[in-house]
Amino acid sequence: MKSAVGLATSVLLEAALPVVRTIALARLLPQDQFGIAITVLATIGIVEMCCDVGFPQSAIRGSTTVPMRSYIGTLHTLSSARAVVMMLLVVAILGLQQMTLDSSFGPDLFVLAALILGLRAFENLTMKQLSRQYDFWREAVLMSGAQIVWTSVTIASALISPSYASMFHGMLAASLWIAVYSNLVVADRWQASWNADAARDALKFGAPLIPNGIASAIGSTDRLVISNFLGTRQVAIYGVAISLATLPRAVLWKFSLSMLVPHFANLMATPEKELKFYGRWMLFVSVIASLYGIALITLGPWVVQVAFGPAYVPPDLLMALIAVNVFIKLMMLVPVPAAFARGQTSIVFLGSMVSAVAAVPACLTLVFGMRSLETFVLALNIFEGIGLVWFLLHTSRQHGLRQPIALTAIVAPILALGSLTAAAWARG
pLDDT at 428 over 70: no
203 or 256, greater pLDDT = 203
CB atoms within 10 A of CB 45: 14
pLDDT at 2 over 80: no
- The per-residue pLDDT for 327 is 93
- The per-residue pLDDT for 5 is 64
What tens digit of pLDDT does each residue of 198-246 get? 888 888 887 777 776 777 666 667 777 777 777 777 777 887 888 778 7
What tens digit of pLDDT does each residue of 152-172 get? 999 999 999 998 899 999 999
What band does 271 get if pLDDT is binned at 50, 70 and 90? confident
CB-based contacts of 104, cutoff 8 Å, min separation 6: 98
d(CA 44, CA 337): 24
pTM for the structure as a whole? 0.67
- The per-residue pLDDT for 362 is 84
Distance of CA 428 to CAs 286, 317, 400, Å? 28, 7, 44
Mean pLDDT of 139-157: 92
pLDDT at 277 over 90: no
What tens digit of pLDDT does each residue of 8-49 get? 677 777 777 888 888 899 889 888 888 888 888 888 888 888
CB-based contacts of 415, cutoff 8 Å, min separation 6: none
Q: Give percent of the chain with pLDDT exceeding 70.
A: 94
Instruction: Give the orientation angle of helix 2-28 with respect to helix 271-308, to 10 degrees.
Output: 30
CB atoms within 10 A of CB 41: 20
d(CA 77, CA 260): 27
Look at 61-65, 153-157, 378-382, 388-392 and tell me which has the smallest mean pLDDT: 61-65
pLDDT at 1 over 60: no
- The per-residue pLDDT for 132 is 65
Q: Which of 138, 143, 141 is nearest to 188 (CA)?
A: 138
pLDDT at 102 over 60: no
392 or 16, greater pLDDT = 392
- The per-residue pLDDT for 146 is 92
- The per-residue pLDDT for 119 is 92
